[in-house]
Structure 1
Amino acid sequence: MTKPDIASLRVYNQHLNHDKFKKPEDVVGYMCAMQAQEYTHAKWAIGLRMLSPADKMVEKAITTGTILRTHVLRPTWHFVLPQDIRWMLSLTAPRINAGNAAMYKKQEVTDAIFNKSFDVFTKALQGGKQLTRTEIAAALNQANIATDDFRLTILLMKAELEQLICSGARQGKQFTYALLDERAPVTPAISRDEAVTRLVLRYFKSHGPATVNDFVHWSGLTVADAKTGIEINKTLLSNITIGGVMYWMGADRDFGAAKKSGAYLLPVYDELIIAYKNRDAMIPAGFRDKMGAITFFPTIMVNNQVVGNWSRNMGKKNIDIELKPFNKLNKAQNQSIESAIQRFKKFNGIG
């Protein structure tokens, strides 16, 4: 087995080219968490894994709270399900807070200020209210809590990590916050070991083949956590070794089922790229000097290999797609990419 075979299995296990999901929440539930700070791109990441995707369908799931958006891994924005958000935050928040400690100190945000801000959030949002950042900042300022510089972001993130607030429905193009208790059911608490076991299993089943270091990169947890979770899940996982590196995946996966054909317009920070510390399996050797462009910009993938970047100019009645291949594309590649372009346009209600 070669590294391109690893890429084929990842595409297969992430359901990009087979057995696609019917509902947005089914995608997020299977993937466990999906990076989502670039909002419109993150919606398309869900759409790529759906049978008949539509932006309006994904937006509705987020509006109604079927999918939530919060800081939960590393930390950055992720889509998660309401039934997963509490146990995941209980697992990851302590490490995120420890990593943020210097930032809290630099911005002079003390525990007393945090607690006071939490009271403001609770009072302002209770009763099903959903407020924008501007409205929340006004409520904090009225309580004599400064929100200049980076402080508002810190206060909001800390409240997310403490399971007080999460995403609400958008107001126009503005994001809102709501009380978590009013958006997600209270679920039974589980032990840390059980949470690690759950996260490890779901990551390797949906993202595998992947390494221990890939999991650590994706989750923000430790190597020890990864090894503990693998050991507990050893009957549910299988492994392969390539070039002295061990890769883990679900034990029930069919190695012969992965397909190598097809093209995808991957959004920026798609899980197929961002969820791995080492991305060489998806990137031909000649393009690895372009890692920055691949990591931080939307990418074109053909036959499970990255071949360039792309961008889009969104109009009301049309979408202009600009392809930026790293090398000249052949006729078959262009035809495959054209199908991917049409799928993206259809997702956005055009064509």
Structure 2
Amino acid sequence: MIPSIRLYSQQLANPVFDNPKDLVSWMGAIQAQDYAMSKWAVGIRLKSGNLQTVNEALAKGEILRTHVMRPTWHYVAAEDIRWMLKLSAKRIMAANDSYAKGRGQDISPAIYNKANHLLEKILANNNHQTKQEIDEAFRKAGLETDERQSNRFLTHAEAEGIICSGIDKNKKITFALLEERVAPVKELHKEEALAKLARNYFRSHSPAGLKDFIWWSGLTATEAKQAVSFIEQELITERFCAQNFYIHQSCKEEKVTDILHILPSYDEYLISYKDRTDVLKAEHQPKAFNTFGLFRPVILHDGQIVGNWNKAVKRNALSISMEWFEQKTKIKKALLQRAEERYLDFLSCETCREE
């Protein structure tokens, strides 16, 4: 039951969205740590579309890539970024400072403020800049920095709502001023924001437990319980394997057969849950992810993670290799071919061939 409902709620069975903005808004957020792979995480959940479709949504600023919720990259819909940052900014900045101190970098508020003011000057008038260009501007302004310290400045500025993702330049990500990139929207009170975050999560990730929601959102246990209470009339509580799961009333359960996807690394189907044993046997989990937070590309068959996949270029042609967790695994050749063709078609747009 759990895998079949998740396939539909996560838009991996009968997807209903045509464009990335609506899909990301439905999902609440999509982890985007691996930039190239994360575009496939969006594309695989659309009714149709290719890499160019996702690239255009990013270029237009309809979806943004920034550090939000947990201190890692996520895609969020542009209209959601401000209220989501208000819920998570303090945690992200605290984690950012902790990372810095753990590596011998104790950055003072005055230095952060100096970096923020420089960013506002550097990026003004829609002057989207790569990290390398920003680092050079920092040095010219007398703000000496290295790779790690530069990352701390940028993450801190993202959390404060000063910068967000800009338009890619020569295949490199850029940063832009949030106020220039995203038009003002109605501000949400904290209670409204918590309810919206819970609704976004449970409608797109059901069935899920409270611990899953806490993990995904980065909220404290108290905040998460409060968020769930705000939408409790929209949730159905079911008990599986001695655990309580919430299912959003919009979700449906239908029989799942012959659904196979090659999922990207860090895909929401795995990473957005604290407990992953419902879709991946415990003995196979080290093949899909490790204790250091590395998540590998995996194969999804009828709701279960059954193997790994990789891509390679041979004789100027892209090919897909697959490896099964269990030797007895048997999957129809037509399903494997369809999954591979869909990924290659996604990458095949004329302007995307170098991705």
Please tell me the TM-score bracket, short chain as reference. over 0.9
Distance verdict in 2 for CA 1:25–1:209, change over 3 Å:
same
Distance verdict in 2 for CA 1:109–1:346, change over 3 Å:
same
Structure 1 moving runs of 4+ over 6 Å:
none
Partner of 2:353: none
Partner of 1:98: 94
Q: Measure, in 2, the Cα distance between the counterparts of 1:187 and 1:69.
A: 18
Gaps of 5+ in 1: none
CA contact (8 A) 1:63 1:170 kept: yes
Q: Measure, in 1, the Cα distance between the counterparts of 2:314 and 2:70.
A: 34
| Superposed CA offset, 1:79-134 (max 9, x none) | 11110000000111112222333334441211101111111111111111000111
SS in 2 for 1:281: coil
Partner of 1:299: 298
Q: CA deviation at 1:314?
A: 4.9
CA contact (8 A) 2:96 2:155 kept: no
- The size of the alignment, in residue pairs, is 346
Q: CA deviation at 1:19?
A: 3.3
SS in 2 for 1:190: coil
Partner of 2:132: 134
SS in 2 for 1:235: helix
SS in 1 for 2:227: helix
**Is the counterpart of residue 86 in structure 1 residue 82 in structure 2?**
yes
Partner of 1:195: 193
1:174 corresponds to which of 163, 172, 175: 172
**Is the counterpart of residue 151 in structure 1 residue 149 in structure 2?**
yes
Which amino acid is the alignment partner of residue 225 of structure 2?
K
Gaps of 5+ in 2: 351-355
Q: Measure, in 2, the Cα distance between the counterparts of 1:149 and 1:64.
A: 28
SS in 2 for 1:108: coil
Q: Measure, in 2, the Cα distance between the counterparts of 1:37 and 1:15.
A: 20
Q: CA deviation at 1:328?
A: 2.9
Distance verdict in 2 for CA 1:55–1:316, change over 3 Å:
farther
Distance verdict in 2 for CA 1:331–1:307, change over 3 Å:
closer
SS in 1 for 2:236: strand
Among all aligned residue pairs of Structure 1 and Structure 2, give the percentage whose two residues are the same amino acid.
36
Counterpart mapping for 1:1-351 below 5 A = 5-105=1-101, 106-255=104-253, 257-284=254-281, 286-288=283-285, 290-292=287-289, 296-314=295-313, 318-328=317-327, 332-349=331-348
CA contact (8 A) 2:85 2:159 kept: yes
Q: Measure, in 2, the Cα distance between the counterparts of 1:343 and 1:329.
A: 25
Q: Measure, in 2, the Cα distance between the counterparts of 1:57 and 1:102.
A: 37
Q: Which moved more, 1:91-100 or 1:58-67?
A: 91-100
CA contact (8 A) 1:25 1:81 kept: yes
Q: Which moved more, 1:118-127 or 1:12-21?
A: 12-21
Q: Which moved more, 1:283-292 or 1:62-71?
A: 283-292
CA contact (8 A) 1:36 1:78 kept: yes
Q: CA deviation at 1:286?
A: 4.9
CA contact (8 A) 2:206 2:251 kept: no
CA contact (8 A) 1:273 1:295 kept: no
Q: CA deviation at 1:214?
A: 0.5
Which amino acid is the alignment partner of residue 27 of structure 2?
M
Q: Measure, in 1, the Cα distance between the counterparts of 2:346 and 2:212.
A: 30
CA contact (8 A) 2:2 2:278 kept: yes
CA contact (8 A) 2:97 2:106 kept: no
TM-score, length basis structure 1: 0.93
Distance verdict in 2 for CA 1:331–1:96, change over 3 Å:
closer
SS in 2 for 1:56: helix
Which amino acid is the alignment partner of residue 317 of structure 2?
N
| Superposed CA offset, 1:262-291 (max 9, x none) | 100000001001100111111135524535
TM-score, length basis structure 2: 0.92
SS in 1 for 2:289: helix
